[in-house]
């Protein structure tokens, strides 16, 4: 069947990684299954040697687990979506932990926390948008009137000092996973991004995230709404001098609009 | 090689996205530097440590100012030394005031005078002053500029043991450690302490917690300043600084 979503994504290494000739430690994937859209990002912990491996691994696992559940189930209530998220969370984390511990056994000097990563998964099946987030990913939704909401807001400073204890695979999931289910009949756009972009795309009121940057998102969503979106448009922006001057972090951005 | 370098080489910017650059968020970073007599007595590559520090600061400050126009654009610094001349504010106009144009300066305008070494190690008084100034600045920014602030950050560098003004060892760091713990739990304080050889590890761990304390193996002041820059960044945790200090030997 014809795709029901237009999607653009990109991920670019932060300045420090790029200057060292290294790739970034973010990973992402998108998939559309019978009208259900999956958007997945992961941000490997900068201090960990195998964080990029962890980020790629958890994205792959999340795509498999969420894809299978979304194909099997048609939740029609908030509670049903919440249950789907709980089951998916449990499966992804269990598989990721198994893989991490297996890798640790197989590779002598690797500890499970060397794979430390965040994970943000969006499942969109209008009118429903469901999100699972571990760590500091951000999700923005746009309504028909152009109004933007932070469905998952940046976590802010307090969590940032806790290091890999708040990340997969070692996070105590009950305490550190966030779950959001929203019924949005007039949804016109979804954006998911890693924390390297939060200070560029979110307006703050002091230390508190207030709202998405309206002007920035108006132009970003326009990129994906054209008749033939340029598949490299997001990457080109993230790799531009402007973004490089404003943030030194790895950055990943996914944009999706229903057709 | 960065696979996207070809985009960065383009002479024309590919985008004109109006990103959020005025975040109305300010972060305060207090940098506390030990300038006691040992910084004059200790040698690093045949030079007095204080002279090496001044030399390295002239290399480091332009980097901070450049970052202040980008990633550190919401950071205000206050720099306090403890040693020669007792406890001194050396940033801004040099006064111990949280008013605009006084001790706190944006990263993009940070400059420091040539530092001198001598005297005792009134570390506790210096940290107390920094906490007081940060709190006063937070209140000033909130009430006068109607802006709230992010969690404050304290970066402490020392090669000694806390003393009173006359050089006598003091236990005043114990109540200070409790005050810092309270700040961590209620005001989101993040503290990084860097100990260069000669430092009292027990004191530094008590003040900064074992996670926030980094003992350096040698008097590599260039590396130390680079670490301070890392510790000032917005998205940083103790693990990231630890990996910079100790490499893979975590």
**A237 and B CB contact within 8 Å:** yes
The per-residue pLDDT for B8 is 45
The per-residue pLDDT for B204 is 95
The per-residue pLDDT for A244 is 78
**A255 and B CB contact within 8 Å:** no
pLDDT confidence bin for B150, thresholds 50/70/90: confident
The per-residue pLDDT for B147 is 66
Alpha helices in chain B (DSSP H): 5-8, 38-41, 49-68, 123-144, 173-187, 201-212, 221-232, 238-246
Cβ of B70 and A248 within 8 Å? yes
pLDDT score of A4 more than 70 = yes
**A215 and B CB contact within 8 Å:** yes
Question: A14: helix, coil or strand?
Answer: coil
CATH of the domain spanning B25-246: 3.40.50.410
pLDDT score of B128 more than 50 = yes
**Between these two residues, B13 and A24, which has the higher pLDDT value?**
A24
Q: Which helix (H) or strand (E) holds B31?
A: strand B27-35
Neighbours of B180 (CB within 10 A): 21
Q: What would the mean pLDDT of A108-121 be, rounded to a whole number?
A: 89
The per-residue pLDDT for A172 is 63
The distance of B45 to chain A (nearest Cα, Å) reads: 28
CB < 8 Å to A247, chain B: 70-71
pLDDT score of A152 more than 80 = yes
- The Cα–Cα gap between B189 and B32 comes to 15
**A243 and B CB contact within 8 Å:** yes
Q: What would the mean pLDDT of A210-222 be, rounded to a whole number?
A: 94
CB < 8 Å to B142, chain A: 206
- % of chain A residues with pLDDT over 70: 88
Please give the ipTM for the structure prediction: 0.80
Exposed (0-12), middle (13-18) or buried (19+): which is B223, by Cβ within 10 Å?
Answer: middle
Express each pLDDT in A226-257 by its tens digit: 888 999 999 999 998 878 777 777 899 999 99
A205 → closest Cβ in B2, B24, B241: B24
What is the CATH architecture of A5-258? 4-Layer Sandwich (3.60)
Q: Is the dihedral of CA B77, B226, A196, A135 positive or negative?
A: negative
Closest among A117, A91, A120, A131 to A171, alpha carbons compared:
A117
Contact assessment for residue A207 and residue B25, using Cβ atoms and an 8 Å cutoff: yes
**Cross-strand pairs, A205:** A208
CB < 8 Å to A206, chain B: 24-25, 142, 147-150
**A242 and B CB contact within 8 Å:** yes
CB < 8 Å to A235, chain B: 4, 7
Close Cβ partners of A226 (under 8 Å, ≥ 6 residues apart): none
Close Cβ partners of A219 (under 8 Å, ≥ 6 residues apart): B16, B17, B18
Angle at A30 between CA A24 and CA A35, to 5 degrees: 170
Neighbours of B73 (CB within 10 A): 20
What single-letter DSSP state applies at residue A50?
T
Cβ of A248 and B188 within 8 Å? no
pLDDT score of B249 more than 90 = no
The distance of B20 to chain A (nearest Cα, Å) reads: 5
- % of chain B residues with pLDDT over 70: 88
Q: Which residues of B touch A (CB under 8 A)?
A: 1-5, 7-8, 13-21, 23-25, 69-71, 73-74, 142, 147-151, 188, 190, 211, 233-243, 248
The per-residue pLDDT for B224 is 87
The distance of B66 to chain A (nearest Cα, Å) reads: 9
pLDDT score of A218 more than 70 = yes
**A157 and B CB contact within 8 Å:** yes
The distance of A39 to chain B (nearest Cα, Å) reads: 23
Q: Is the dihedral of CA B4, A42, A247, B249 positive or negative?
A: negative
Q: What would the mean pLDDT of A141-170 be, rounded to a whole number?
A: 74
pLDDT score of B1 more than 50 = no
pLDDT confidence bin for A169, thresholds 50/70/90: confident
Contact assessment for residue A89 and residue A57, using Cβ atoms and an 8 Å cutoff: no
Average pLDDT, whole number, for chain A? 87
Close Cβ partners of A241 (under 8 Å, ≥ 6 residues apart): B8, B13
The per-residue pLDDT for B139 is 86
The distance of A201 to chain B (nearest Cα, Å) reads: 6
pLDDT score of B16 more than 60 = yes
**Between these two residues, A6 and A177, which has the higher pLDDT value?**
A6
Q: What would the mean pLDDT of A63-67 be, rounded to a whole number?
A: 97
Residue of B nearest to A243 (CA): B19
- The Cα–Cα gap between B61 and B65 comes to 6
Angle at A241 between CA A237 and CA A245, to 5 degrees: 115
Contact assessment for residue B239 and residue A48, using Cβ atoms and an 8 Å cutoff: yes
pLDDT confidence bin for B23, thresholds 50/70/90: low
User: Which residue, chain included where needed, has tokens 């195998």?
Assistant: A50
The per-residue pLDDT for B4 is 41
Cβ of A196 and B151 within 8 Å? no
The distance of A183 to chain B (nearest Cα, Å) reads: 28
pLDDT score of A206 more than 70 = no
**Cross-strand pairs, A125:** A128
Q: What is the 3-state secondary structure (H, E, C) of A194-220?
A: CHHHHHHHEEEECCEEEEECHHHHHHH
CB pairs A-B closer than 8 Å:
130
Cβ of A203 and B211 within 8 Å? no
Express each pLDDT in B172-198 by its tens digit: 999 999 999 988 877 778 899 998 888
Paired sense of beta strands B213-215 and B190-195, if any: parallel
**Between these two residues, B225 and B146, which has the higher pLDDT value?**
B225
Neighbours of A20 (CB within 10 A): 10
Residue of B nearest to A45 (CA): B240
Question: A156: helix, coil or strand?
Answer: coil
Paired sense of beta strands B105-106 and B153-158, if any: unpaired
The distance of B11 to chain A (nearest Cα, Å) reads: 10
């Amino acid at each position: 069947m014809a795709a029901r979503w237009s999607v653009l994504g990109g991920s670019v290494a932060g300045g420090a990684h790029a200057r060292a000739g290294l790739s970034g430690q973010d990973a992402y994937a998108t998939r559309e299954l019978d009208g259900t859209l999956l958007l997945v990002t992961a941000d490997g912990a900068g201090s960990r040697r195998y964080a990029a491996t962890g980020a790629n691994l958890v994205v792959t696992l999340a795509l498999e687990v969420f894809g299978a559940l979304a194909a099997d189930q048609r939740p029609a209530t908030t509670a049903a979506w919440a249950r789907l998220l709980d089951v998916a969370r449990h499966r992804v984390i269990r598989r990721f932990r198994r893989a991490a511990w297996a890798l640790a056994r197989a590779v002598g000097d690797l500890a499970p926390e060397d794979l430390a990563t965040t994970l943000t998964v969006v499942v969109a099946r209008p009118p429903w948008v469901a999100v699972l987030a571990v760590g500091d990913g951000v999700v923005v939704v746009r309504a028909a009137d152009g109004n933007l909401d932070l469905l998952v807001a940046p976590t802010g400073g307090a969590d940032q000092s806790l290091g890999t204890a708040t990340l997969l695979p070692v996070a105590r999931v009950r305490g550190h996973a966030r779950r959001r289910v929203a019924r949005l009949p007039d949804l016109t756009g979804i954006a998911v991004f890693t924390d390297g972009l939060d200070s560029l795309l979110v307006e703050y009121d002091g230390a508190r995230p207030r709202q998405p940057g309206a002007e920035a998102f108006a132009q970003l969503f326009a990129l994906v709404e054209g008749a033939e979106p340029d598949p490299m448009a997001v990457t080109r922006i993230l790799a531009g001098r402007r973004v490089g001057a404003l943030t030194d972090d790895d950055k990943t951005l996914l944009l999706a609009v229903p057709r | 090689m960065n696979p996207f370098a070809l985009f960065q080489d383009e002479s024309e910017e590919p985008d004109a996205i109006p990103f959020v650059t005025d975040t109305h968020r300010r972060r305060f970073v207090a940098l506390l530097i030990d300038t006691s007599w040992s910084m004059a007595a200790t040698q690093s590559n045949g030079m007095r440590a204080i002279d090496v520090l001044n030399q390295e600061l002239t290399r480091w400050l332009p980097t901070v100012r450049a970052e202040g126009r980008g990633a550190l654009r919401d950071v205000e610094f206050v720099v306090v030394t403890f040693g020669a001349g007792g406890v001194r504010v050396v940033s801004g106009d040099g006064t111990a005031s949280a008013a605009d144009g006084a001790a706190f300066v944006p990263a993009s305008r940070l400059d420091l005078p040539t530092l001198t070494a001598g005297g005792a190690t009134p570390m506790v008084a210096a940290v107390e002053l920094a906490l007081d100034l940060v709190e006063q600045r937070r209140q000033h920014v909130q009430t006068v500029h109607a802006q709230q602030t992010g969690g404050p950050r304290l970066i402490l560098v020392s090669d000694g043991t806390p003393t009173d003004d006359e050089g006598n060892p003091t236990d005043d760091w114990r109540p200070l450690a409790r005050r810092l713990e309270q700040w961590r739990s209620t005001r989101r304080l993040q503290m990084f302490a860097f100990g260069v050889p000669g430092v009292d590890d027990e004191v530094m761990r008590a003040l900064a917690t074992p996670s926030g304390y980094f003992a350096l193996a040698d008097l590599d002041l260039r590396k130390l300043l680079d670490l301070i820059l890392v510790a000032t960044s917005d998205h940083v945790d103790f693990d990231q600084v630890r990996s910079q200090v100790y490499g893979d030997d975590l």
